[in-house]
A and B are shown apart, each in its own frame.
Chain A
Amino acid sequence: METQTGESLTLRGPLEGEAPGLAGVVGRMRLLVGDQPVGVLDVSNGWAKLLPDGGQVDVTGICASAEVLMRLLQGRINPVVMALLAEGRLQGDRERGTKIIYGLRAGSPFNKTTLQGKD
């Protein structure tokens, strides 16, 4: 499974699944590494899905590196620490963005997802 998500970065592996910590949360977060779009994380009441970049979003998550992005998706980043160390920032509906990042910490479907440079 793969989705072409940006000019040079591609997410591969599981691209959707259950995220129990996102129960009751609905929203779309655009994902960037630096200024490169990677895709959109679509969250709907306990289900999280990675989609190609595009469409309206509630919040944009800008990560300093691909490694930070993967930690975010896999629920391995604390959003407060992320902000304090300038590893990433949220633009737009920061409340919803924080809720999504926290929610993934309770269990993420993207533990085996990878981010690779486009062939």
Chain B
Amino acid sequence: MSLNTVSILDGNSFVVSDRRGDIDASPIDTQGLFLDDTRFLSKWILTVNGLRPSVLSVDEQEYFQVQFFEAVTTSTIYVDSHLSVARKRAVGKGFHEEILIENHDKQAMDLDVQLDAAADFADLFEVKDQLQKKGELYTKTNNGRLTLGYKRDRFVRETSISANQKGEVDDKGFHFKVHLAPRTSWTVSLDVEASNRASGEVERRTKATVDAWCNNAPRLVCSWDPLHRIYKRSLVDMAALRFRTGITSGALPAAGLPWFMAIFGRDSLITSFQAIPFAPELAASTLRTLALFQARQEDAFRDAEPGKILHEMRLGEMTAFEERPHSPYYGAADSTMLFLIVLEEYVRWTGDTALARELENEARAAVGWIDRYGDRDHDGYVEYERRVKETGLDNQCWKDSWDSIAFADGTIAPLPRATCELQGYVYDAKLRTARLARNIWNDHGWAKQLENEAADLKKRFNRDFWIPERNFFALALDGQKRKVDSLTSNIGHLLWSGICDEDKAESCVKHLMSDALFSGWGVRTMASSEGSYNPIGYHVGTVWPHDNAFVAWGLRRSGYRAEAALISRAMLEAADLFGGRLPEAFGGYPRQDTHYPVEYPTACSPQAWATGTPLLLLRTLLGLESDGEHLIIDPAIPEPLGRIELLDIPGVWGRLDAFGRARAAH
């Protein structure tokens, strides 16, 4: 997000304005009031006597609420004004705004207060791709209320605006004539409400509901003070990103502001996994919702096959008219495995066997998808290739930009692509599903079969993906079954899934901690030694916090405690320098060259799995694990972080505390 914009959000409702509070959308700017992937307000400009007030300060009080302090001045150099403006805004099913204008002068003033309003009802895809609308815009005024509307066949969306003060209303906005006696003030409240929406009603957030959410999470006590702020920021941002479908109960994490305030299978699952020891209810809602939308039939347009878990769901006009396949779109090769992984992790942490029973059919269908459709050419590995070139995603792994899967010389790998981490996820998903089959579904035969399949996959994978001349696993097998030989962070995900043979894991760890991959702030998505490397390339050199959290967790699971601690510490230090909030990604420049991690220009912030990163890092540092009955605590904390206590960790055990402290090396 631009530093010149201010955002408030709540689930998939958000308002992006300039620092005055004005909204003035342009083809290159994402300002507006957005709900359900539609811009319900594209213009909202306040003028007083024809002047746009100058911003003095912005008080971003809560994620759902902001206050702008301004002065009305004609001066260009010095602010010498007797007229101040305060605008207080809270997001909900639209937004509520209170405008306070104060006359600090000894003279009375007559003011023309004007609020210009307009809505282009752009679908987020139209904003992104600068496309033209196909329907008709209209405006209506009635009883002091302004309605901005859009109609295309049966698709009708409206924004209704009303004020609590009498004024003139026309199709351009509101006009108030105000006489202000000396040292008096005038206020007006405006309600901007989006209607005819497809999703459920938005629950109005208050500070109390956010506090309740944060207080329900474990309490952190630590000696490295910045960690308090980072942890609090994570909890609050996760609260902000909670998304209610209005169909399933509970909330699940939306992916990130501004482009991804929607259900994403991969993002919601990864964030839910990160949050399990802190807010396990997110995982339950995510699993239920994704199970509901699990594909039931083959559908090339949506890249859907029976059993597959969705990639992305959108609610805008282009989705409605099936000009985009997002109703939902299933172009993710990893979501189905991650669904099984999160299901087992959640059940083992919480003891909620009822959910496992409820989702048994969906879990079986997911395994069925892996074997029947995920492995498209029956070579024993899951691979992907979109079925509709115009609308499908080229890369259907988490590194989903077009150039992310490249050979060491920079050549893009031909499709279909079987990326290495997908195979790790299959291995892990089958082992975890075997545990559920044995312990909950009482299907011992299937459990054994899944374990055998996982063991066979591991054996083949270590043979077919290993590059002996470079001593790491190939990023992928390409369409011609060639090893894509770039050194990337993907090998860290293999440690998380446990698919690596022990001797090969050791070699991968050396690469992960090498200067080529580890920048000092984190593990780069691609090593600086590779042909496609670019420190500000989206998936070819930047550092992604969530990626690092899983690499660190993988290192811990594989017994590399010091290395896991080093990455965790670096990432938390970066978080501190980002004001407590890790962005989606940041530059891959070496730490010795930059005292601060370098921002990536279009990174989402807040972004769900970056928000969840400090949570998984805390789990890594304290070595938290559940064996299904007990909380296992095995801390490995680097010295600068000192002492960490995490109190009231929820789980099958009720609530328990974990404590760890750094030990000096002997």
Contact = CB atoms under 8 A, between A and B. Distances in A.
A5 B198 CA distance: 29
B465 to A, nearest CB: 35
Contacts of B248: 95
B156 interface: yes
A85 B320 contact: yes
Nearest to A25: B361
A86 B196 contact: yes
Interface stretch (A35-43, A50-58, A98-106, A111-119): A98-106
Residue from B246, B296, B322 with most neighbouring chain A CB atoms (10 Å): B296
Interface stretch (A7-15, A26-34, A76-84): A76-84
Given A81-B319, A95-B248, 4 more contacts: A84-B317, A84-B327, A102-B293, A102-B296
Interface string B142-167: 00000000000111100000000000
A81 B327 contact: yes
Given A80-B328, A84-B155, A87-B154, A95 B247 contact: yes
A94 B246 contact: yes
Interface string B348-378: 0000000000001100000000000000000
7 contacts: A24-B360, A78-B327, A84-B317, A85-B155, A95-B248, A98-B247, A98-B293
A23 B361 CA distance: 8
B361 A24 contact: yes
Interface string B245-267: 01111000000000000000000
A80 B322 CA distance: 11
A-side interface size class: 20 to 34
A93 to B, nearest CB: 9
B315 A84 contact: yes
Nearest to A85: B154
A84 B322 CA distance: 11
B188 interface: no
A86 B156 contact: yes
Interface in B192-238: 196, 198
A21 interface: yes
Contacts of B247: 94-95, 98
A33 B435 CA distance: 47
Contacts of A98: 247, 292-293
B297 interface: yes
A23 B359 CA distance: 12
Contacts of A64: 154
A3 B303 CA distance: 39
Nearest to B316: A84
A81 B361 contact: no
B292 A99 contact: yes
Nearest to B361: A24
Contact of B320 (A24, A84, A103, A105): A84
Contact of A95 (B153, B292, B296, B320): B292
A93 B56 CA distance: 49
B494 to A, nearest CB: 34
Contacts of B198: 80, 83-84
Interface string B314-346: 010101111000011000000000000000000
A115 B315 CA distance: 30
Interface in B113-169: 153-156
B313 interface: yes
Residue from B196, B249, B320 with most neighbouring chain A CB atoms (10 Å): B320
Nearest to A103: B296
Nearest to B315: A84
A87 B246 CA distance: 18
Contact of A106 (B154, B296, B321, B322): B296
A86 B361 contact: no
Contacts of B156: 86
B628 interface: no
